[in-house]
Amino acid sequence: MLAGADLRQADLEDADLTGAMLLGANLSGANLVNANFENAMLLNAQLENALINGANFKNTAFLIQDQIDDACGTPKVLPEGLQAPKGTSCERTTMESK
């Protein structure tokens, strides 16, 4: 269970998060390229500037359009009724540059 986890700027490329409970997790700025979130729960998960190219969100629970719009990139699969974010590139900022 990763509820409330602080995963800001984490490199989760190709991660298998199938069925993960990411309730309230902070994934801001994370590299989620090709990550598998199938059947995961993302209620209140923060996806600001997360790179979601190729990510699989099939059957992801509690994922809403606002969360997707905060991310960037083109996911492989989204739950029915959700669309890829309008922005495809993220402004990559680091803690040192702030």
Q: Where are the alpha helices (DSSP H) in 54-98?
A: 65-70
Q: State pLDDT tens for residues 24-52.
A: 999 999 999 999 999 999 999 999 999 99
Q: What pLDDT is recorded for position 88? A: 64
Residue 96: pLDDT band with limits 50, 70, 90: very low
Instruction: Assess whether pLDDT exceeds 80 at residue 90.
Output: no
Q: What pLDDT is recorded for position 93? A: 46
Radius of gyration of the chain (CA): 12
Task: Give the Cβ contact number of residue 16 at 10 Å.
Answer: 12
Q: What is the mean pLDDT of the chain?
A: 91
CATH number of 1-80: 2.160.20.80
Spacing of C-alpha 8 from chain mean position = 11
Which structure tokens are listed for 69?
A: 């719009």
Q: What pLDDT is recorded for position 1? A: 75
Which structure tokens are listed for 12?
A: 């989760």
Q: What pLDDT is recorded for position 92? A: 53
Contact 9, 29 (CB under 8 A): yes
* Residue with tokens 């540059």, as numbered in its chain: 97
